[in-house]
């Protein structure tokens, strides 16, 4: 059966929009089949709407190589090798002191006023005796001292005798085995207070017929000195004998020192 639409019905179905695009309207006057057509038309229009296309305009950025870091390495300073100093040979007197012929008949004799000890010394040596004390220790220390110097003054040979001092350690009675250490301590206090002294290990030595201990040493003062010391105890009294000379002259004066030591005796 045919369908006739008048001008009014047509306007009811198609109506132009604001931009000339036909809009499809359906009013209650439209029959069911027309509504179906309208629905199909709407589906077709929705399908025709193109989805937006996204175009990527990004361009990959090339990776540039990292610049090579350059460091300046300082030139090492040249190393100068300095040879170690030649060690100083310490004096080594004989273990048993024996008089060596040194024109002994011309030597002088020293005897203590109380005749407790005596020894011989070269005729051109001069000296004096006195008592010295020191107060910068825990307790007062007094020492009887005898000093003899050979030719050359402070640059020549020297003999020092220390005696009659109280025991430095009251808990230990005087003994030959330890007397040398007391002599070394007193020598450091009274004779080499401004010097750097190095004492060697003690060794047995015979003095005035007794077995005791002696030690060699060096002292760095205004110059380097080499020396030897002996500690001995007689009738409960401490005695110390010290000799020194500039290190380079030790060999020349060693016979004199050994003769002096060998001539040392105690009285009755």
pLDDT of 120 over the 90 cut: yes
Q: Where in the chain is the domain with CATH 3.40.1000.10?
A: 104-266
pLDDT of 130 over the 80 cut: yes
pLDDT of residue 228: 98
**Is the pTM value of this prediction over 0.85?**
no
The answer regarding whether domain 104-266 maps to CATH 3.40.50.300 reads no
pLDDT of residue 66: 57
**Could you write out the DSSP letters of every residue in the chain?**
------HHHHHHHEEE-TTS-EEE---TTS-HHHHHHHHHHHHHHHHHSPPPPP-----PPPPPPPPPP--PPPPPPPPPPPPPPPPPPPP---SB-----S-GGG-EEEE-TTSSEEEEE-TT-EEEEEEEEE-SSSS-EEEEEEEEE-TTGGGS-EEEEEE----SSTTS---HHHHHHHHHHHIIIIISTTSEEEEPPPEEEEETTEEEEEEEEEEESSSEEEEEEEEEEETTEEEEEEEEEEGGGHHHHHHHHHHHHHT-EE--
Q: Which of 55-59, 140-144, 248-252 has the highest mean pLDDT?
A: 248-252
pLDDT digits (tens, 9 = 90+) for 141-184: 899 999 999 988 878 999 999 999 887 777 888 899 999 999 99
pLDDT of residue 45: 52
């Amino acid at each position: 059966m045919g369908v006739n639409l008048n001008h009014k019905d047509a306007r009811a179905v198609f109506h132009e929009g604001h931009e000339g695009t036909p809009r499809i309207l359906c009013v209650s006057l439209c029959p069911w089949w027309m509504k179906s057509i309208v629905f199909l038309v709407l589906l077709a229009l929705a399908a025709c709407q193109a989805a937006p296309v996204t175009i990527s305009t990004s361009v990959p950025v090339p990776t540039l190589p990292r610049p090579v870091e350059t460091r300046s390495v300082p030139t090492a300073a040249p190393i100068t090798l300095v040879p170690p100093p030649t060690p100083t040979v310490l004096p080594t007197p004989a273990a048993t002191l024996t008089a060596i012929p040194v024109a002994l008949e011309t030597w002088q004799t020293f005897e203590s006023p109380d005749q407790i000890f005596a020894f011989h010394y070269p005729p051109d040596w001069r000296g004096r005796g006195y008592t010295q004390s020191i107060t910068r220790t825990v307790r007062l220390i007094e020492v009887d001292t005898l000093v003899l110097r050979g030719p050359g003054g402070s640059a020549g040979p020297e003999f020092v005798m220390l005696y009659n001092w109280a025991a430095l350690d009251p808990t230990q009675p005087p003994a030959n085995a330890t007397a040398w250490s007391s002599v070394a301590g007193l020598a450091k206090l009274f004779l080499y207070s401004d010097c750097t002294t190095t004492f060697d290990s003690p060794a047995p030595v015979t003095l005035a017929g007794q077995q005791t201990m002696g030690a060699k040493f060096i002292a760095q003062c205004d110059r380097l000195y080499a020396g030897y010391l002996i500690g001995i105890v007689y009738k409960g009294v401490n005695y110390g004998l010290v000799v020194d000379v500039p290190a380079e002259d030790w060999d020349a004066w060693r016979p004199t020192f050994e003769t002096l030591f060998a001539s040392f005796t105690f009285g009755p």
